[in-house]
Structure 1
Amino acid sequence: MHPMVKPALRRAWRDRQTVQFGMTSGHAVTVGPVDTATGGFLALLDGTRGLPLLREEARTMGLPDGRVDELVARLTSAGLIDDATAGGAQADALRGRAEAFDRLRPDLAALSVVHCEPGGGARRLAARRAMRVQVRGAGRVGATIASVLAAGGVGQVEVLDGGCTERWDIAPGGLGAESVGVRRDVAARQLVRRAAPGRPPRAVETAEAAGPSGTGEPGLSLVIVAPRDGAAAYAPDPVAAERWLRSGTPHLYAGVVEATGVVGPLVLPGGSACAGCMALGRADRDPAWLRMLAQWRSGRGGPVPACDIGLATTVAGLAAAHALAFLDGELPATTGVRWEVSLPLLDWRQEPMPPHPDCSCGAGGQAHGECASGAGEPQDTMAG
């Protein structure tokens, strides 16, 4: 073990004997009492030394035998210690790719704060490389989501869309001016390649991730539905989602419709509300909804859907962050919940999406807010 105090947490002395690690209330931890010698020793916990060398240095500083192990154990239990060598073989391989690893250092620092166990951040960051995500839509929202996921270390990011890039598809973080006239799927593939920290995984890596079948084609970890016309994310088509329900593929909706951005829900097949549940629930509340929806879907839309650039970038960033949290093993606040934000005030609000008892997806047999994993109701973590 090469222990280091998590570098993302800022350190400050509250008084002569008390150290606070972390600035924000969500992650701050105070440690005390800390004497002068121990305070000086903390600077040596930077990941460059193993425990034997740390014990030797502690003796030269006048610290009693056993103090190093006691201090490291104490800081570890408080979630303050990471291990510069932990995370397994995948993490070691990532560290060996210096250029890619340097690109991902800020992400690793953030993950180390969120996941308390030593090596937890490195393990999750390395695991992203073996994951496969499909983004359906290459407009201002979808292309930006794809580039963020690739930049965050997701090994395979596929983007599906038709037609050629138009000038109004261009967005910071998304498709650039050089993509105008190029097929959207081709332009998005080039965007993902540029955003990724290094080359995509080799076939042998993906074959290992696929398991015993060795097909080299791992299953989809997540589908993100981010159509250029955000109406299809606000009122998703249950028929289009049937394939993901049958295969058990989690999927997340995101988009901008008119002057409103939507992120969610994240659908866990059989565990949380699906597109069919949403359609049935809306029809229960508004008997005219299905009639109007049929008209909107069959009518010709405008040549350019409304999609404010600031709103689109906000939606894309939040959707990508929720997707990464899910890929890292969490159930984000979009699980069974849709978040909406509208111009001009941009106040976020949540709309729970309960499973519908008449939907064939099977989620309606569980209590509202419960998911297949047994997790509780998503909390209002984004309020304010």
Structure 2
Amino acid sequence: MHPILKPALRRGWHDLNTVQFGLTPAHAVVLGPVDTATGSFLTLLDGTRGVPLLRDEAQRMGLPDGHVDALLERLTGAGLLDDATGGGPPAQALRKQTRVMDRLRPDHAALTVMTFEPAEGARKLAARHSMRVQVRGAGRVGAVVASVLAAAGVGHVDVRDGGCVEPWDVAPGGQPVEAVGERRDVSARQLVRAVAPVRPPRPDRRRTQERPADGEQEGALSLVIVAPRDGLAIHSPDPSAAEDLIAAGIPHLYAGVAEATGIVGPLVLPGGTGCAHCLLLGRTDRDPTWPRLLAQWRSGHACRQVQACDLGLATAVAGLAAAHALAFLDGELPSSTGARWEAAAPGLDWHARPVWPHPQCPCGAGEGGNGQETSVEEGPHDTMAV
């Protein structure tokens, strides 16, 4: 172990014996009392020395035996200590790729702030390279989400969509201007490859996705992002579009914009949290006319119109969705788990609406009476009669 005080946390002294690590309330830690000699010793925790050498340095500074081990244990318990060489072989291999690591240093710094154990941030960053994510939708939201995930170190990001790039699909970080007229999925995959710190091998077009070559195994999807270009498909997602994900037990996260309202979530854990079918059944319970409205809206006329999806809101949705996706891939459960975060322009006041498991949904999440009803969920009360 080569201990290092987490560089991402700024240090400041309240007084001669009290030091604060970090600026923000969510991650700041105040440590004290710290005597003058120990304060000087802290400067040696820069990742260049192993523990035996640190013990020798402490002895030369006149610190008592056992002081270094007690201090390291104290710093580890406070979540302030990282390990410059830890994280296992994948993390070690990543550190040796200097150009790649330079691209990912801000991501690594963020992970060290959000994690507790030494080298846990490096381990999670290295683990992203083996993750497989599919993004369904390559419009203003989906293409940006895909590029952010790839740039953050997710090793395999596949994008699925139909049709060709339209001028209104173009977005910073997403579909480029020169892609107009090209196939959406092809252009988005090229974008992903261009921004990835480590480019995955190009797919062999001679092979079908259903039948990998002998000796190869197609890795299971870690997560699917459902980012439809049609606003109705994100506001009221069609349960049949996610049947394959529910059946395979694949977690999936919805993200998009519907009529100038940004939506992120729910993150669906099949069999554990409310799904698109649960959402539909819950709305129908509160408003029996809801299926009739959906049938009219899905008649095909509205989808031919250009969607109300302004660029600022679309970019905000894509960024939030990517952040929630990365949190999940890193082993956490973001606040979109079983809930939808929404913000309507121009106020942009983000708020969460729970998506409760429904006892009649075949997904199984509501079995045993776990489904609940709440007046803050979406329903007919969200509309205004005039």
TM-score, normalised by the number of residues in structure 1? 0.91
Checking the alignment, whether the CA contact within 8 Å between 1:339 and 1:350 is kept in structure 2 is yes
Paired with 1:199 and 1:279, the residues of 2 have a C-alpha distance of 40
Matched residue, 1:326: 328
Give, in angstroms, the shift of residue 303 of structure 1.
Answer: 3.2
Q: Secondary structure at the match of 1:224?
A: strand
Matched residue, 2:316: 314
Matched residue, 1:380: none
Q: Secondary structure at the match of 2:298?
A: helix
Checking the alignment, whether the CA contact within 8 Å between 1:140 and 1:170 is kept in structure 2 is yes
Paired with 1:35 and 1:214, the residues of 2 have a C-alpha distance of 60
Matched residue, 1:376: none
Give, in angstroms, the shift of residue 298 of structure 1.
Answer: 1.3
Matched residue, 1:12: 12
After superposition, where does 1:167-182 map in structure 2 within 5 Å? 167-182=167-182
Paired with 1:367 and 1:85, the residues of 2 have a C-alpha distance of 49
1:135 and 1:66, CA in 2 relative to 1: closer, same or farther beyond 3 A?
A: same
Checking the alignment, whether the CA contact within 8 Å between 1:41 and 1:58 is kept in structure 2 is yes
User: Runs (4+) of structure 1 moved beyond 6 Å?
Assistant: none
Give, in angstroms, the shift of residue 367 of structure 1.
Answer: 6.4
- Runs of 5+ in structure 2 lacking a partner? 204-213, 373-386
Checking the alignment, whether the CA contact within 8 Å between 1:254 and 1:316 is kept in structure 2 is yes
Matched, 1:255 2:256: yes
Determine which of 352, 372, 376 is the counterpart of 1:350.
352
Matched, 1:78 2:78: yes
Q: Secondary structure at the match of 1:63?
A: coil
Residue-by-residue CA offset, 1:166-199 (whole Å, 9 max, x unaligned) = 1111111111112111111111011101111122
Checking the alignment, whether the CA contact within 8 Å between 1:2 and 1:51 is kept in structure 2 is yes
Q: What is the percentage of aligned positions where both structures have the same residue?
A: 68
1:348 and 1:101, CA in 2 relative to 1: closer, same or farther beyond 3 A?
A: same
1:366 and 1:44, CA in 2 relative to 1: closer, same or farther beyond 3 A?
A: farther
Matched residue, 1:206: none
Matched residue, 1:208: none
- Runs of 5+ in structure 1 lacking a partner? 204-212, 371-384
Matched residue, 1:232: 233
Paired with 1:368 and 1:6, the residues of 2 have a C-alpha distance of 42
Residue-by-residue CA offset, 1:98-138 (whole Å, 9 max, x unaligned) = 11111111111111111100111111111110010000001
Residue-by-residue CA offset, 1:28-62 (whole Å, 9 max, x unaligned) = 11111111121111111111111111112222222
Checking the alignment, whether the CA contact within 8 Å between 2:359 and 2:370 is kept in structure 1 is no
Which deviates further from its counterpart, 216-225 or 133-142? Answer: 216-225
Checking the alignment, whether the CA contact within 8 Å between 2:265 and 2:337 is kept in structure 1 is yes
Give, in angstroms, the shift of residue 67 of structure 1.
Answer: 1.4
Paired with 1:346 and 1:254, the residues of 2 have a C-alpha distance of 16
Matched, 1:124 2:86: no
Which amino acid in 2 is paired with 1:92? Q
Checking the alignment, whether the CA contact within 8 Å between 1:133 and 1:220 is kept in structure 2 is yes
Checking the alignment, whether the CA contact within 8 Å between 1:272 and 1:369 is kept in structure 2 is no
Q: What is the root-mean-square deviation in Å for CA atoms of aligned residues?
A: 1.7
Checking the alignment, whether the CA contact within 8 Å between 2:170 and 2:176 is kept in structure 1 is yes
Q: Secondary structure at the match of 1:316?
A: helix
Paired with 1:328 and 1:366, the residues of 2 have a C-alpha distance of 30
1:366 and 1:194, CA in 2 relative to 1: closer, same or farther beyond 3 A?
A: farther
